[in-house]
Amino acid sequence: MRHYSVSAPHWNEPDGNRRVLLLSVIVPCKNEDAVLRETHSRLVSVLQPLATDFEIVYVDDGSTDSTFELLREIQCVDHRVRIVQLSRNFGHQIATTAGLEHASGDAVVLIDADLQDPPEVIPLMVEQWRNGFDVAYGLRTARDGETLFKLWTARAFYRAINRLSAVPIAVDTGDFRLMDRKVVDALLRMPEQDRFLRGMINWLGFRQVGVPYRRAARGAGETKYPLLKMLRFAMDGIASFSVLPLKMATWLGFSASGLAMALILYAVCVHALTDRWVAGWTSLFVAVLFMGGAQLIGLGIIGEYIGRIYGETKRRPLYLVQELLGFDAEAKAQQETARAG
Going by pLDDT thresholds of 50, 70 and 90, the confidence category of residue 138 is confident
**Burial zone of 334 (CB within 10 Å; 0-12 exposed, 13-18 middle, 19+ buried):** middle
Per-residue DSSP letter, 194: S
- Residues 5-34 have a mean pLDDT of 65
pLDDT at 7 exceeding the cut of 50: no
Choice between 302 and 207, residue whose per-residue pLDDT is larger: 207
Going by pLDDT thresholds of 50, 70 and 90, the confidence category of residue 302 is confident
Q: What is the pLDDT of residue 218?
A: 61
Choice between 280 and 331, residue whose per-residue pLDDT is larger: 280
Q: What is the pLDDT of residue 282?
A: 57
Residues 6+ apart with CB under 8 A from 226: none
Cα angle: 324, vertex 109, 136; to 5 degrees: 160
Q: What is the pLDDT of residue 179?
A: 92
pLDDT at 5 exceeding the cut of 50: no
- Residues 66-75 have a mean pLDDT of 91
Q: Nearest-CA neighbor of 270 among 260, 278, 258, 280?
A: 278
R_g over Cα of the chain? 26
**Burial zone of 228 (CB within 10 Å; 0-12 exposed, 13-18 middle, 19+ buried):** exposed
Q: What is the pLDDT of residue 4?
A: 37
Pairing between strand 208-215 and 135-143? parallel
> Measured over all CA atoms, what is the biggest interatomic distance in the chain, rounded to whole angstroms?
97
d(CA 31, CA 95): 13
Cα angle: 33, vertex 39, 42; to 5 degrees: 155
Q: Do 167 and 241 contact (CB within 8 A), yes or no?
A: yes
Q: Do 341 and 10 contact (CB within 8 A), yes or no?
A: no
Could you report the per-residue pLDDT of 202-242, keeping only the tens digit for each?
888 888 898 888 887 765 556 555 556 566 656 665 666 66
